[in-house]
């Protein structure tokens, strides 16, 4: 009986060691880097929109706020980029910070770009942006976005 208990304990220790080794061998996924890559993909899609890719990046519950007060849902957000209503000819995100808490990520950055929006003269824009992403399965999807105009210096 004593040998059986000893064998069970030895087996449990061995299994624990094996599990620990497996966990150590698997590369840890850096959530912050994933979010940064997702933001970069979004930036590129805002320059060169692709319906399927933009749709996959946005939550069905998306709320997309503009600096002028306009708020769009997912369908309106997609339509604005796909129809040229919103058309960036250059776009840069700077001063970016990423905070990840569980399955939620908050991104802040300064958006600077040139625009050629349908029906408007070419323009330029500089905005402060906050993005909220939610991890769904293994992907970060955009849940909310709000833009504000920086104060005039």
Q: Tell me: the pLDDT tens digits for 104-122?
A: 999 999 999 999 999 999 9
Question: Domains in the chain: how many in total?
Answer: 1
Q: Tell me, what's the pLDDT at 121?
A: 94
Q: Any alpha helices (H) in the chain, and if so which ranges?
A: 2-25, 31-47, 51-57, 74-82
Q: Tell me, what's the pLDDT at 19?
A: 47
The answer to whether the CB of 78 falls within 8 A of the CB of 59 is no
CATH of the domain at 63: 3.10.450.50
Radius of gyration of the chain from its Cα atoms, rounded to whole angstroms: 23
Q: Which domain holds residue 76?
A: 30-148
Is residue 15, in this structure, part of any structural domain at all?
no
Is residue 153, in this structure, part of any structural domain at all?
no
Q: Tell me, what's the pLDDT at 153?
A: 78
Low-confidence ranges of the chain (pLDDT < 70): 1-29
Give the span between the Cα atoms of 131 and 107, in whole angstroms. 5
Strand, helix or coil for residue 83: coil
Regarding beta strands 58-65 and 71-72, do their DSSP bridges make them parallel or antiparallel, or are they unpaired?
A: antiparallel
Q: Tell me, what's the pLDDT at 26?
A: 45
Q: Tell me, what's the pLDDT at 7?
A: 53
Q: Give 28-53 pLDDT, tens digit per residue.
A: 569 999 999 999 999 999 999 999 99
């Amino acid at each position: 009986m004593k040998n059986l208990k000893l064998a069970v304990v030895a087996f449990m220790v061995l299994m624990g060691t094996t599990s620990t080794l497996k966990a150590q061998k698997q590369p840890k996924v850096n959530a912050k880097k994933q979010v940064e890559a997702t933001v970069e993909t979004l930036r590129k899609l805002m320059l060169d929109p692709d319906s399927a890719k933009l749709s996959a990046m946005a939550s069905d519950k998306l709320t997309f706020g503009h600096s002028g007060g306009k708020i769009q849902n997912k369908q309106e957000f997609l339509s604005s980029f796909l129809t040229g209503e919103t058309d960036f000819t250059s776009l840069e995100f700077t001063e970016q910070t990423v905070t990840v808490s569980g399955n939620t990520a908050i991104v802040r950055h300064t958006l600077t770009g040139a625009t050629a929006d349908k029906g408007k003269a070419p323009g330029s824009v500089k905005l402060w942006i906050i993005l909220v992403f939610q991890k769904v399965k293994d992907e970060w999807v955009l849940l909310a976005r709000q833009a504000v105009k920086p104060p005039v210096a």
